Each structure stands twice: as structure tokens, then as C-alpha cells.
């Protein structure tokens, strides 16, 4: 059962927030959240949709949101949760033969940024995409978002021990796929 | 940090750097002209969120009241509106008629309407002076749809036809009736009416891609319970059947129901699109379009993100018609349904083909797609109520280039309206060329 974040369940959330706070959250974190979703989905358009949906949800529940410091973890978790839904739909489409190129986002991004064209980076991202969902998310939050084990645990709703083991196993699997030792 | 960690960090950072803040969607632009209040910084910042939320709101709104039957006249206009069983299925929102066209509102002083119009033709029919007017600043066929006919100093609207390629109205003059309307196909027009000999030699006013007609009737307009008008031009033909209700001298005869069919022999479906929606104009960068539009819905289809956009300042179905679809960052028009109550397009997408379209009529429609070659139903597309119509989008079983023909059935309350498009050239990233089509309304 996946941890589905709810505003009311998040520490520090539950009281009212004023519009200025939410507007400020949007201004400060929108780009970072889109980048996080892009790293997960490898599709910027889809990432923007995901983040937009999350803010729409927050706006609809704005009466429950309060502290900016607590809001960001919630937003991050919500983005990850919606990314999972997108990936599930992609996987379903692929199983049904409706999606021949699951790596669609990489091509799109390649056209937009020369750095991604490097074959080595492409291999790393492709290998990352094959990891189980939890290990992939832990690695992204650790090595892209730079979160601590405690922050990752809070975001994903798992224990720090699970974070640690998922990171270790994910890295080991990644190393094997890339033909190198850890 | 191990080499794997280094490589992972490097790759993720590089991927993240491809998303620059300045290249994200123009969020503040989306707020302009939207329902979000322009004075509230809260709403301005959260405009995209509000736009996304509008998807839910739109889906949850009550259905736009069914105002009329087929020709777009308000039901009950005149006294005969409610008696007959509606035959029309893909209904259209008459509120988009500018000026409104009902039996009750017809026949008013012409001066009340012609101020913003331009006269394009005049003559005399059965002793009545007439003139045809088009709306200034608009191109055909919209200019004629929003214009009208002046008959003996009284105003009779033309608008009722947007869902119909062929549109007909009858005027009760107190003596022999007058039929008028238009056929939205270019070229020389041939018209006939059933019952036989009921319509005498019509005056035809040829405009850009559309022709207005005015014809004397052999009897009073009140003498007909129903009429069927057949119109043809080199680009296609259409039939419009009307069930008629009460009549009142000086007014349009009330229409209790109407339906029709059309058959295009050239891609006339694309005329009047703004922005244009052709194979060549589709698939371009979305930025220029979305800057003047408002996002009303978004989702994922076949692994590709899509979003539906409505033109700022336009309302209801018009907004969608003048808006478009963004699929994986590329722009695709939605206009082709402009002359039809429903329309659809295929996109030669990167993986499987994508089909999208819009039913510009109120109500909940289910969409069924059938490929001619396979004689089987294609995957059911996702549908979404949006701005008074039904938007749909789905993936095809195969490449869009593999379908020479697809029939779309729009089903509501057990009734089905069909539209068949025959496709031509396909080009990756673009809509597939529409060569011919046929359907009914």
C-alpha cells in the first residue's frame, strides 16, 4: 500500500494558511518541484502537469495548510505520489502495446539540453529507470534533491532503516547495471 | 562518494538543469483573461493551479440546458417547440448565436442589428426587398453566421447553422413564405426542397466558401409541417430536414426538430479555423498559442502529456474551437468541428497514434471509434466535459498512418451520431491529412 499524503496527515499541517503564504510557496518551489518530477518522469511536460495538479489540490485544500516549512515536504511527497500514477499509466500503456518507446522523455529532453546527450548520462538514467520504484525514489531524493535519510523517510512515509537499505541496494543494482563496482 | 554515486549525481543534476525556470509554462500569462481574479496576487500566482482545478469544476458543472433542436433555435420558440419528439441529436448551444436566432426574436427592426454588419448583396424576392449582411471584422463562414438577412426592413438571423453545413429557416410573411439560409461549401450551389416544387428559383449570394440563399415558397410558410432542403457544391453536399411548429407573421417559423447529413469531397472541414488546423500548421511549438489561451484540462495519453486550451476572451464551445491541444509540447488545433457538431483528428505521434476531438453539444457523450480496415472498435478514448462540450482523447492501436478511415460515433441517450473521416498523408508530429468526410447531425 503506497503512502498517499494527505494534508491533514502531515505534521505541521491542519490550520489555515493565508493566500500570501501559498503564493510564496508556489514562487519559491514550483521550479524545483518541476525539476524533481522531471528527474523522476524524464518528461518535462508531464512533470509540469504533475506539479500543477499538486498545487491545484493544495489550493482546493488551502484551508488546511499552514507552515511553509511543513508544506514543502508535503508538496514534495505529493509530487512523488502523482509521478507514481503517471509511471503506472505509462507501464500499463507499454504492456498493452500502446507505448512503444517508454523512454520518450529522454529524447525530448535531449533536444533541449546538450548535456543529456552524453551517452554515459543516458546509460545512468536508463539504468536508474529499471530499479524498483522505492529504490529509484530514494536515490533521486538522496542524490538529486540532497535530502537526509530522515527527510527521505518522512517524505516517503518509511523508516530511516528502509531508506538506508533501499539506497544501498539501489546503488549496488545500479553499479551492476553499469558494469562497475560500488 | 563512489563512482556510481558520482555518475548518478552528475546525470540527475544534468537532467534537472534542463528545466530552467524561465522555460516553464508562462504561469502569469495563463491567469490573464481567465476566471481567476486579476486583482488577487494569490489567484495570479495560482492561476495554473486554478486552471487545473477548473477541470474538476467543469466536469462537475450541470449540463448546459438544452436550448433547441438542431438548428439552434430555442426550444419552444414559437408555440410548437415542445410538441414534437426531437430528432436532432447533436444539439448545439443556441446561446452562442450572435445575435440570437429564435422565432420570437426574429423579425425585429433591422436597424437594431445592422450597425455592426456590412451589406454584401440585395435584391427582391416575391415583392419583398432583401439584403444579406455579414459581421464586420470576421471572416467567412463566421461572418455570415453572425450576420443575417434583412427582409422588408426586418431582421432574420443566420447564426443557427454552426453545427450544420446547411442551414435553413422559413419566414412567415403573411403571404407566400420565404426560405433562407446558407450552404457552407464553396462554389456553385444547387438547392432543392421537398415537398417538391415548394421552393422556387432561389437567389444565391456567393461569399468566400459559403453561399447564402433566399427563395420564395409556393405556399405560406405555415402550410408546411416539415421540409427537407438539399444543397450541393463541388466541395460537398448536405441535407437539412426540419420539423416545423407554429408560425407568426413577420417571424421565422418555429422549428421543433432538425437533423441533417453532410458529405465533404475535399477537406472543407478545415475552413474558417482560427488558428488554422491543418496537417501543415499542426505540431508546432505550443508557446505562442498558450500565451493567448487558458488551460482547461490536462492529462497523460499513451505516455504523452496533453493539455486542452481555450482561447482567452472566448466562451464555451467557441473557446475550445479557437483553442487547441498541446501534446508533448506541440500544438494541435481543434477547429475542424467548427462547421460540424463534432470533430476529431489523428496525430502521427512518436509511438502509437493519438486521436482527439470535441463534441460541441451539451450533454454527456460516449465516444466510439471504429477503423474501417479492422472493423473493430478502437480503444475507448478518455472523455472530459469541458466548456459545454465533450473533449476526448485516446491512443490508437497502431500508428495513425495505418488508418485510412475512422468513424466516430457520439452516443447520447441511446442515439448515435456518426462522422467518418478519410485520411491521407501523415507526417510525424502532425495531424493526419483529412481528405474527405461524411456524417450527420
Q: What's chain A look like in SS3?
A: CCCCCCHHHCCCCCCCCCHHHHHHHHHHHHHHHHHHHHHHHCCHHHHHHHHHHHHHHHHHCHHHCCCHHHHHHHHHHHHHHHHHHHHHHHHHHHHCCCCCCCCHHHHHHHHHCHHHHCHHHHHHHHHHHCCCHHHHHHHHHHHCCCCCHHHHHHHHCCCHHHHHHHHHHHHHHHHHHHCCCC
Burial class of residue B414 in the structure, from the number of CB atoms within 10 Å of its CB (0-12 exposed, 13-18 middle, 19+ buried) = exposed
**Residue range B94-260 in CATH 3.40.1480.10:** no
CB contacts of B283 in chain A (<8 Å) are: none
Contact A99 B352 (CB under 8 A): yes
* More confident site: B321 or A9: B321
* Sheet of strand B154-157: strand arrangement: B108-109, B154-157, B148-151, B128-135, B117-125
Q: Which of A48-57, A95-104, B206-215 ranks highest by mean pLDDT? A: B206-215
Please say whether the beta carbons of B409 and B368 come within 8 A: yes
Sign of the Cα torsion B188, B194, B200, B203 reads negative
Lowest mean pLDDT across A27-31, A34-38, A166-170, B180-184: A27-31
In this structure, what are the phi and psi dihedrals at residue B302, rounded to the nearest 5 degrees?
A: 55, 30
Find which of A36, A45, A53, A54 to mutate to test the B interface (most B CBs within 10 Å of its CB).
A45
Q: What's the rounded Cα separation, in Å, for the pair A36 and A33?
A: 5
- B16-45 residues touching A, CB cutoff 8 A: 16-19, 21, 23-25, 27, 40-42, 44-45
Are B18 and A109 inside 8 Å of each other by CB?
Answer: yes
Greater confidence, B262 or A124? A124
The DSSP secondary structure of B377-389, one letter per residue, reads EPPPPEEEEETTE
Q: How far apart are the C-alpha atoms of B376 and B205, rounded to whole Å?
A: 44
| pLDDT grade for B387, boundaries at 50, 70 and 90 | confident
Strand partners, B214: B180, B203
**Which of residues B67 and B374 earns the better pLDDT score?**
B374
pLDDT at res. A173: 94
Q: If DSSP codes are grouped into helix, strand and coil, which group holds residue B142?
A: helix
Q: CA torsion, points B396, B401, B405, B409, in degrees to nearest 10?
A: 20
Q: Do A27 and B350 touch (CB under 8 A)?
A: no
Angstrom distance (rounded) from CA B233 to CA B271? 15
Higher pLDDT, B331 or B22: B331
Residues of B within 8 A of A38 (CB-CB) are 15-16, 18-19
**In the predicted model, what is the mean pLDDT of residues A126-134?**
89
Residue B130 backbone phi and psi in degrees, to 5 = -135, 160
Mean pLDDT for chain B overall: 73
Confidence of residue B383 (pLDDT cuts 50, 70, 90): confident
The nearest CA of chain B is from the CA of A1 a distance in Å of 23
Number of A:B CB contacts under 8 A?
176
Cβ of B382 under 8 Å from any chain A Cβ?
A: no
Name the residue facing B14 among A59, A89, A116 (closest C-beta). Answer: A116
Q: Does B58 touch chain A (CB under 8 A)?
A: no
Quick check: B60 pLDDT over 50? Answer: no
User: How does residue B161 score in pLDDT terms, banded at 50, 70 and 90?
Assistant: very low
Delimit the domains of chain B by residue range. Answer: 25-58+268-440, 94-260
In chain A, what are the domain boundaries?
A: 1-114, 118-182
B59 touches chain A (CB under 8 A): no
Interface test with chain B among A41, A94, A143, A178, by most B beta carbons within 10 Å = A143
B216-252 CB burial, b ≥16 within 10 A, e <16: bbeebbbbbebbbbbbbbebbbbbbbbbbbbbbebbb
The dihedrals phi and psi of A146, each to the nearest 5 degrees, come to 70, 30
DSSP string, B60-120: HSPPPP--BSSS-PBTTSSS-TTTSPP---S---GGG-SS---TTTTTEEGGGTGGGEEEE
CA triple B169-B172-B175, angle to 5 deg: 135
- Residue B354 and residue B346 in contact, taking contact as beta carbons nearer than 8 Å: yes
Residue B277 above 60 pLDDT?
Answer: no
Q: Answer whether B25-58+268-440 and B94-260 agree in fold.
A: yes
pLDDT tens for each residue of B62-98: 212 212 222 332 222 232 222 222 223 333 344 445 5
For residue B47, the chain A residues in CB contact (below 8 A) are none
SS3 at position B11? helix
Average pLDDT, integer, range A6-19 = 40
Q: What's the pLDDT score for residue A22? A: 66
Q: Return residues 22-41 of A near B (CB < 8 Å).
A: 22-23, 26-27, 30-31, 34-36, 38-39
β pairing state of B330-333 and B324-327: antiparallel
> Is residue A145 within 8 Å of A163, Cβ to Cβ?
no
DSSP bridge pairs for B117:
B135
Q: Give the mean pLDDT of A125-146.
A: 90
Residue A7 has pLDDT above 70, yes or no: no
Cβ of A116 within 8 Å of Cβ of B328? The answer is: no
Cα–Cα distance, B64 to B284 (Å, whole number): 33
The model's pLDDT over B337-362, given as tens digits with 9 standing for 90+, comes to 444 556 778 888 766 789 998 887 77
Three-state secondary structure along B236-255?
EEEEEEEEECCCCCCEECCE
CA angle B383, B374, B389 (to 5 degrees): 20
Fold of B25-58+268-440: Immunoglobulin-like (2.60.40)
Searching chain A, which residue's CA lies closest to the CA of residue B3?
A182
Question: Which residue has better confidence, B377 or B75?
Answer: B377
Whether the ω angle into residue B99 lies within 30 degrees of 0, i.e. cis, is yes
Q: How far apart are the first and last CA of chain B?
A: 67
Top mean pLDDT of A36-50, B50-64, B92-106, B173-187 is at: B173-187
Instruction: Tell me if the pTM is above 0.80.
Output: no
Nearest CA in chain A to B2: A182
Domain A118-182 falls in which CATH fold? Arc Repressor Mutant, subunit A (1.10.10)
CB contact under 8 A, B16 and A90: no
Most confident of A40-49, A107-116, A148-157: A148-157
Q: Decide which of B186 and B149 is more confident.
A: B149
Nearest CA in chain A to B330: A45
CA angle B29, B34, B40 (to 5 degrees): 80
Answer whether B184's CB lies under 8 Å from B165's CB: yes
Which helix or strand (DSSP H or E) is residue B150 part of?
A: strand B148-151
Of A48, A90, A125, Cβ closest to residue B11: A125
**CA proximity to B356, closest of B366, B348, B364, B346:** B346
Contacts of B16 in chain A (CB under 8 A): 35-36, 38-39, 144
Most confident listed range (B27-31, B210-214, B293-297): B210-214
Q: Range with the lowest mean pLDDT among A55-64, A98-107, A160-169, A172-181?
A: A98-107
**Cβ pair B12:A144 closer than 8 A:** yes
The predicted pLDDT at position B378 comes to 79
Query: Which chain B positions have a beta carbon within 8 Å of A100's beta carbon?
Result: 351-352
> Does the pLDDT at position B128 exceed 90?
yes
Q: What is the pLDDT of residue B399?
A: 84
Q: What is the tens place of the pLDDT at every residue in B202-234?
A: 899 988 778 899 999 999 999 998 898 989 887
Instruction: Give me the pLDDT at residue B426, please.
Output: 85
Taking residues B410-432, report their average pLDDT: 81
| Cβ-defined contact of A144 to B9 (cutoff 8 Å) | yes
Q: Which residues of B touch A118 (CB under 8 A)?
A: 14
Q: Which residue has the higher pLDDT, B261 or B89?
A: B261
Amino acid at each position: 500500500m503506497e503512502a498517499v499524503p494527505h494534508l491533514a496527515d502531515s505534521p505541521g499541517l491542519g490550520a489555515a494558511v493565508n493566500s500570501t503564504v501559498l503564493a510564496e510557496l508556489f514562487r519559491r518551489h514550483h521550479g524545483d518541484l518541476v525539476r524533481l518530477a522531471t528527474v523522476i518522469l524524464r518528461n518535462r511536460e508531464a512533470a509540469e502537469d504533475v506539479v500543477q495538479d499538486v498545487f491545484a489540490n493544495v489550493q482546493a485544500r488551502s484551508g488546511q495548510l499552514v507552515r511553509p516549512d511543513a508544506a514543502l515536504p508535503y508538496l514534495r511527497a505529493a509530487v512523488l505520489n502523482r509521478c507514481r500514477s503517471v509511471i503506472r499509466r505509462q507501464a500499463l500503456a507499454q504492456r498493452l502495446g500502446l507505448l512503444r518507446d517508454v523512454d520518450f522523455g529522454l529524447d525530448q529532453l535531449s533536444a533541449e539540453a546538450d548535456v543529456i546527450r552524453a551517452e554515459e548520462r543516458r546509460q545512468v538514467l536508463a539504468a536508474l529507470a529499471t530499479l524498483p520504484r522505492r529504490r529509484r525514489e530514494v536515490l533521486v531524493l538522496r542524490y538529486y534533491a540532497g535530502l537526509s535519510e530522515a527527510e527521505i523517510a518522512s517524505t516517503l512515509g518509511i523508516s530511516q532503516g528502509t531508506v538506508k537499505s533501499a539506497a544501498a541496494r539501489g546503488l549496488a543494482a545500479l553499479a551492476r547495471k553499469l558494469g562497475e563496482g560500488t | 562518494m563512489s563512482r556510481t554515486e558520482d555518475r548518478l549525481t552528475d546525470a540527475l543534476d544534468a537532467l534537472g538543469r534542463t528545466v530552467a525556470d524561465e522555460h516553464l509554462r508562462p504561469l502569469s500569462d495563463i491567469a490573464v483573461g481567465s476566471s481567476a481574479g486579476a486583482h488577487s496576487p494569490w489567484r495570479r500566482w495560482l492561476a495554473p493551479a486554478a486552471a487545473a482545478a477548473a477541470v474538476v469544476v467543469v466536469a462537475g458543472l450541470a449540463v448546459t440546458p438544452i436550448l433547441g433542436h438542431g438548428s439552434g433555435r430555442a426550444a419552444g420558440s414559437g408555440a410548437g417547440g415542445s410538441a414534437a419528439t426531437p430528432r436532432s441529436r447533436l444539439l448545439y448551444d443556441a446561446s452562442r448565436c450572435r445575435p440570437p436566432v429564435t422565432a420570437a426574436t426574429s423579425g425585429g427592426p433591422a436597424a437594431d442589428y445592422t450597425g455592426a454588419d456590412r451589406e454584401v448583396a440585395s435584391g427582391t424576392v416575391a415583392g419583398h426587398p432583401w439584403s444579406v449582411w455579414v459581421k464586420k471584422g470576421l471572416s467567412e463562414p463566421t461572418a455570415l453566421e453572425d450576420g443575417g438577412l434583412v427582409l422588408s426592413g426586418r431582421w432574420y438571423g443566420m447564426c443557427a447553422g454552426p453545427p450544420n453545413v446547411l442551414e435553413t429557416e422559413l419566414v412567415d410573411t403573411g403571404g407566400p413564405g420565404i426560405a433562407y439560409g446558407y450552404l457552407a461549401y464553396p462554389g456553385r450551389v444547387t438547392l432543392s426542397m421537398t415537398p417538391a416544387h415548394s421552393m422556387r428559383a432561389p437567389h444565391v449570394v456567393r461569399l468566400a466558401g459559403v453561399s447564402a440563399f433566399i427563395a420564395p415558397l409556393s405556399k405560406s410558410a405555415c402550410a408546411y409541417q416539415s421540409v427537407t432542403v438539399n444543397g450541393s457544391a463541388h466541395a460537398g453536399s448536405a441535407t437539412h430536414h426540419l420539423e416545423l411548429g407554429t408560425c407568426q407573421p413577420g417571424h421565422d417559423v418555429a422549428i421543433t426538430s432538425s437533423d441533417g447529413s453532410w458529405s465533404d469531397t475535399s477537406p472543407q472541414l478545415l475552413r474558417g479555423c482560427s488558428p488554422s488546423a491543418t496537417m501543415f500548421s499542426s505540431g508546432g511549438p505550443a508557446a505562442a498559442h498558450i500565451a493567448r489561451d487558458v488551460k482547461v484540462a490536462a492529462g497523460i495519453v499513451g505516455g504523452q502529456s496533453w493539455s486542452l486550451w481555450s482561447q482567452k476572451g472566448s466562451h464555451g464551445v467557441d473557446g475550445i474551437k479557437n483553442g487547441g491541444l498541446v501534446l508533448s509540447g506541440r500544438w494541435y488545433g481543434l477547429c475542424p468541428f467548427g462547421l460540424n457538431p463534432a470533430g476529431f483528428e489523428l496525430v502521427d505521434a512518436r509511438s502509437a497514434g493519438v486521436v482527439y476531438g470535441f463534441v460541441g453539444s451539451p450533454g454527456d457523450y460516449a465516444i466510439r471509434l471504429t477503423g474501417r480496415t479492422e472493423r473493430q472498435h478502437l480503444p475507448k478514448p478518455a472523455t472530459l466535459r469541458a466548456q459545454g462540450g465533450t473533449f476526448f482523447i485516446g491512443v490508437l492501436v497502431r500508428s495513425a498512418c495505418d488508418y485510412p478511415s475512422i468513424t466516430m460515433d457520439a452516443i447520447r441517450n441511446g442515439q448515435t451520431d456518426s462522422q467518418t473521416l478519410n485520411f491521407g498523408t501523415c507526417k510525424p508530429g502532425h495531424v493526419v491529412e483529412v481528405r474527405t468526410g461524411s456524417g450527420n447531425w
